[in-house]
Structure 1
Amino acid sequence: MEPEQKNQLELSLLQCQQSIDSSLTDMQSEAC
């Protein structure tokens, strides 16, 4: 895997975590 791709994957995962932390609706959390 390209380092760049890995970084973007980790970034989206991070944003995903934050979304769940800010307690959004179940539907939005599932989208992650």
Structure 2
Amino acid sequence: MRVVYNLTTLIPQEDVFLTIGVFDGVHRGHQ
């Protein structure tokens, strides 16, 4: 999650939420 938090300083919040959603989806997919 540290990478996502670091990205928050570079991209808009809306994109951050989308990115978190993608990471969450991928994480669940591997489980």
- Flag the structure with larger Rg: 1
- Taking only aligned residues, the RMSD between alpha carbons, in angstroms, comes to 0.3
TM-score by length of structure 2 reads 0.64
5+ residue gaps, structure 2, are 1-10
5+ residue gaps, structure 1, are 22-32
Helix, strand or coil at the partner of 1:19: helix
TM-score by length of structure 1 reads 0.62
